[in-house]
Every structure is written in C-alpha cells, then in structure tokens.
C-alpha cells in the first residue's frame, strides 16, 4: 500500500489473493485467537481454500479464556472449518508473560499436522515490533521485524495481511458482519507493546501519518541486510574450512553475533566463533596442556607443542633482540603470571601487558597462552607487542626478530 488512500475492506481479499498461488494444494492451518485479525484471515482464506483448518491455543491466562475457546468452536462450525484446540501451560517467569505465552503457543502449533501455518499479523503489528526492537537496542535482525514468509519447524509460515493496516481488517470484519472477541489484556499499558500501541502510536500518527509504512519499509531494508549477512557468514565459515550450518543454526548464530554481547562464543563444526570488538574470530579449542619454561639459546626455531605452535627467529642487522643478550644465555620462554610490564617504545613509559594487549586488540582468551620471552626475571618480548626497548639491537649490531606461529 504505497499510496496515501484510506484503507478499505477490499484490501483484505486482495492481499489473500496475492498469497493464494503459494497455498493451493497445501494443508493450511490458521492460528485462530478469536480476535478480529485472525477471524478475518480465516474468513478470507476460507472463501478460496476449502482445505483450510484452524487451531486455537488456550493459554489459560485470562478468566475469559474458556469463553474465547467456545467462540472459536462456534465460528469454525459456522464456516465449516475443522478446529483443533490445545491447552498450554505458560511459565510466568524469565522473559515475561508475553514472551512465555508466545513461546508456548508456537511450541504447541509446531506439533500439529500442516504444510503452511498462516498467522494474522498486520502492518500495525509490524511497525510496533520494529519500533519495540529498536528501543531495545536490537541489531539488523531484530529491526527487520516479521517476515511475510518464513521457515517454521521444517514447514512454512505465512503472514498474508502483513502489509495491511488494522483499519482495513476491521472494515472487512464489519462489512462481512463478523464477530470477534476482545482480549482485555490489550488495554494493559504495563505491557510494552500495548504502551506503544495506546500511547505512542497516536502521537506518531498525529505528526507522521504514515509512520507504520515507513517502519515497515525500513524493516524490509534491514531484512535484505540480514540476508546478505547470512551469505557473508557462510562464506566466512567456508574460508576457514568449516561446514555450512543448517538454516536454523545460521539464523541463531547471526542473532548472537549481532547482539554483540561480551564473551559471545558459538560452537560449530569443532571450532568456536568468538566475538571481540565487533570482529568474529575462529578459534579451534584445544585441551590446555601444562607448560614448563623452555630455554632459548639462539635456535632459529623453537617448537612449543603444549601451546600449539612454534617460535621462529630471523637474523637481521640493526633490528630485533640484540645478539649479545642471546650469547650471554639465560633466555627462557614462559607464560604470563600477572603484573608484567613492557616498554616497546623508548619514547613512551613502561606499561602493563594487559593495557598493551588491549591496545593491540589481542583477545583476552588468547593472552594467557602466549609465549613470552624473558632474560632472567625481565620481560624481553611479547607476541603482537614487540621487544622491550632495553633489549633492542642497535643499528650496527646483529639481532634476532621473533615470530610466533600457530601450527595446530
């Protein structure tokens, strides 16, 4: 609905007709709450799909829940539509009653027999969802709102009315003489979605009459971004020799990565995806082995299998660790013990390894298993940070340039 005309009852059958080519010949199940939206969707689909069925999920949260179930039974008898009623128990802890009820509802629907699940979400629902997710700080996936078509437990989920305003749906119901039930909880402003619908939406409509369409359009842009992200993540995994995940796991991986929570760690195909400063890193976890200090006496290579790699030393003039310190011996490779300090730049003060690692972008989980080179108790070199100024080779002397390489 790109124009600014007033929503009409005729918009409903037009929207349903657009969805029909994908529905013919399939077992279509309509999620029927008894509210005006689902009643209209069931009625409109019934006109063209004789095989349509309905399912009502009885949450038991309202004192009117039994009355709503009876209403759905009566409506389906009138429309000659088979109806399944399922009772669920809603856990009232954790994410909140709304989220718990939705999870219980979808879990119950997933156990029913159908090819396509049709839900009655409309444009107002979409706009509220996008706005609510943005206010919660959602990433691109959350801001993309609800999809008009999606996978659902190995089957399909469709929302034929997603581009329609609620005004058109109510107009259709009245034109067709339909009845519906009203959920009293829809007036409770304690629920975030109701607060947006009852308090925020009227203000937005007054200033921006087409704010719903604008947010839905933005959601489509975010959805395209999310699709691009799926392709990029698959290519990223393949570039590291990892198998492609299932679509469901790919979506969940993107959801966790886009949330950007510190310490995010996702296991996949024997590896781990870890997030640090907005960058996804692939780690191949190994069982930590005990590591004892190892002497270095100037060898070009020093294998450190307990740390999963080896140190390589390249000779150079006027660069690296001054050869005189190596010749004097007492060079050893050890792990961090805490409190180490290093001065890679003479012009800057000596600083803690923690601060230097943070500045260099070395992830916290790598720092404890990096080989550090000492001369006695003095730190000489750290991977990714460099050589302490006191041990650097002068321009006229020979030196050793260290390099840490993972081998497994």
pLDDT over 70 at 4, yes or no: no
pLDDT over 60 at 333, yes or no: yes
- Number of folded domains in the chain? 3
Handedness of CA 268, 269, 274, 275 (dihedral sign): negative
Alpha carbons 340 and 370: distance in angstroms, whole number: 13
Do 199 and 73 share a structural domain? yes
The reported pLDDT for the residue numbered 138 is: 66
Do 108 and 55 share a structural domain? yes
Nearest to 218 by CA among 149, 139, 130: 130
Alpha carbons 162 and 120: distance in angstroms, whole number: 7
pLDDT band at 11 (very low <50, low <70, confident <90, very high): very high
Do 164 and 123 share a structural domain? yes
Contact 314, 320 (CB under 8 A): yes
Do 264 and 351 share a structural domain? no
pLDDT band at 3 (very low <50, low <70, confident <90, very high): very low
Do 163 and 21 share a structural domain? yes
Burial 220-235 (b: 16+ CB within 10 A, else e): eebbeebeebeeebee
Do 196 and 84 share a structural domain? yes
Q: Is residue 402 one of the residues assigned to a domain?
A: yes
pLDDT over 60 at 230, yes or no: yes
265-305 pLDDT, tens digit each: 898 888 889 888 778 888 877 777 889 999 999 999 999 99
Do 260 and 158 share a structural domain? no
Do 156 and 30 share a structural domain? yes
Do 193 and 79 share a structural domain? yes
Please state, rounded to an integer, the average pLDDT across all residues of the chain. 87
Alpha carbons 40 and 179: distance in angstroms, whole number: 9
Which residues span the domain enclosing 278? 240-283
- Kindly state the helix (H) or strand (E) to which residue 324 belongs, with its residue range: helix 323-327
136-180 pLDDT, tens digit each: 776 666 677 888 888 888 889 999 999 999 999 999 999 999 999
Q: Is residue 223 one of the residues assigned to a domain?
A: no
The reported pLDDT for the residue numbered 109 is: 93
185-210 pLDDT, tens digit each: 777 777 788 888 888 888 998 998 89
Region for residue 247 given its phi and psi (left: phi exceeds 0; alpha: psi -120 to 50; beta: otherwise)? alpha
345-396 pLDDT, tens digit each: 888 899 999 999 988 888 888 888 899 999 988 999 999 899 999 999 999 8
17-52 pLDDT, tens digit each: 999 888 888 999 999 999 999 999 999 999 988 889
């Amino acid at each position: 609905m790109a124009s600014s005309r007033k929503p009409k009852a005729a918009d409903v059958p037009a929207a349903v007709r657009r969805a029909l080519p994908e529905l013919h010949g399939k077992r279509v199940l309509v999620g029927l709450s008894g509210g005006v939206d689902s009643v209209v969707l069931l009625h409109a689909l019934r006109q063209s799909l004789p095989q349509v069925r309905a399912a009502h999920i009885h949450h038991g949260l309202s004192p009117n829940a039994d009355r709503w179930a009876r209403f759905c039974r009566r409506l389906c008898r009138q429309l000659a539509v088979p109806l399944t009623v399922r009772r669920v128990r809603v856990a009232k802890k954790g994410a909140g009653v709304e989220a718990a009820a939705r999870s219980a509802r979808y879990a119950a629907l997933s156990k029913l027999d159908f090819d396509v699940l049709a839900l009655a979400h409309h444009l107002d629902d979409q706009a509220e969802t996008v706005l609510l997710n943005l206010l919660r700080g959602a990433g691109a996936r959350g801001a993309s709102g609800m999809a008009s078509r999606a996978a659902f437990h190995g089957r399909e989920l469709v929302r034929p009315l997603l581009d329609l305003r609620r005004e058109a749906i109510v107009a259709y119901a009245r034109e067709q003489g339909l009845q519906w039930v009203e959920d009293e909880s829809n007036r409770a402003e304690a629920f975030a979605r109701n607060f947006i619908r009852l308090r925020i939406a009227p203000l937005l409509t007054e200033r921006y009459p087409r704010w719903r369409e604008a947010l839905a359009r933005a959601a489509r842009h975010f959805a395209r971004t999310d699709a691009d992200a799926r392709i990029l993540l698959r290519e990223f995994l393949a570039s590291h020799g990892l198998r492609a995940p299932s679509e469901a796991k790919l979506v969940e991986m993107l959801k966790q990565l886009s949330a950007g929570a510190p310490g995010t760690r996702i296991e996949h195909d024997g590896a781990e995806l870890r997030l640090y400063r907005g960058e996804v890193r692939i780690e191949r976890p190994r069982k930590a082995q005990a590591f004892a200090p190892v002497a270095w006496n100037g060898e070009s290579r020093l294998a450190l299998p307990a740390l999963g790699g080896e140190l390589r030393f390249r000779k150079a003039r006027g660069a690296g660790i001054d050869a005189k310190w190596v010749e004097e011996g007492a060079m050893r490779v050890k792990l961090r013990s805490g409190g180490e300090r290093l001065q890679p730049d003479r012009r800057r003060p000596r600083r803690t390894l923690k601060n230097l690692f943070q500045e260099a972008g070395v992830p916290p989980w790598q720092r404890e298993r990096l080989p550090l080179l000492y001369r006695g108790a003095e730190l000489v070199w750290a991977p990714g940070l460099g050589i302490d100024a006191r041990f650097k080779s002068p321009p006229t002397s020979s030196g050793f340039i260290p390099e840490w390489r993972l081998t497994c």
